[in-house]
Amino acid sequence: MIESLQDQEREQLVQFLKERSILRLLDDRIIHGLSLSLVEKHCGPGHIVFKEGDPGDGLYIIRHGSVEVKRKADAKPIAYLTAGECFGEMSLLNNQPRTATIRVPEEAVILKLSKKASIDLKSKFPVLGEELEKLAEQRDGKRAFKAPGLEGNTAFFDLPTVIQAVASSRQSGKLNIFPTHANPGSKLVFDRGNLISANFKHLTGDCAVFELLAVQDPADFAFERSADNDGKPVESTLDRPIERLLVEGARRSDEMPKLMEKVGGINATFSTPPHIPKWKELPDSIQSLAPKIWKLIELDLSVEEILPLVAVDSYSILQTLSEMVSLELIKPVITAAPEADAPEEVAYRRGDTAEIDLRRILKQSTKLARTLYALNMVAANLSNIVDTATVQYCLDEALRETTKTYPQLSCLKVHTGGKTLDVRGASSELSSRVNSAEALTMLTNKFLQLMSDKQTQKLGKC
Same domain assignment for residues 6 and 131: yes
* Cα four-point dihedral sign 324, 327, 330, 333: positive
Mean pLDDT, residues 350-368 taken together: 43
Same domain assignment for residues 72 and 177: no
Number of domains in the chain: 4
Same domain assignment for residues 372 and 350: yes
pLDDT of residue 148: 58
The Cα-based distances of 329 to 72, 321, 323 in angstroms read 50, 9, 9
Q: Is residue 322 part of a domain?
A: yes
Q: Is residue 6 part of a domain?
A: yes
Q: Please tell me which residue, 6 or 93, carries the higher pLDDT value.
A: 93
Same domain assignment for residues 6 and 128: yes
Q: Please tell me which residue, 433 or 6, carries the higher pLDDT value.
A: 433
Q: Is there a contact between 70 and 121 (Cβ–Cβ < 8 Å)?
A: no
pLDDT band at 415 (very low <50, low <70, confident <90, very high): confident
Q: Is there a contact between 255 and 315 (Cβ–Cβ < 8 Å)?
A: yes
pLDDT of residue 72: 75
The Cα-based distances of 65 to 70, 196, 365 in angstroms read 17, 27, 10
Which residues does 428 contact at the CB level (< 8 Å), separation at least 6? 46, 47, 48, 103
Q: Is residue 30 part of a domain?
A: yes
End residue of a domain, out of 199, 224, 250: 250
pLDDT of residue 362: 35
Mean pLDDT, residues 303-332 taken together: 94
DSSP type of residue 27: -
Q: Which of 278, 283, 307 is nearest to 293 (CA)?
A: 307
pLDDT of residue 418: 67
- As a residue count, the chain comes to 462
Residue 260 has pLDDT above 70, yes or no: yes
Q: Which of 37-41, 190-194, 369-373 has the lowest mean pLDDT?
A: 369-373
Which residues does 146 contact at the CB level (< 8 Å), separation at least 6? 85, 138, 169, 171
Tell me the pTM. 0.73
pLDDT band at 360 (very low <50, low <70, confident <90, very high): very low
pLDDT of residue 50: 94
For residue 310, the enclosing domain spans 268-333
Same domain assignment for residues 287 and 310: yes
Residue 139 has pLDDT above 80, yes or no: no
Same domain assignment for residues 281 and 178: no
Q: How far, in Å, CA of 217 to CA of 154, rounded?
A: 8
Residue 325 has pLDDT above 90, yes or no: yes
Same domain assignment for residues 121 and 12: yes
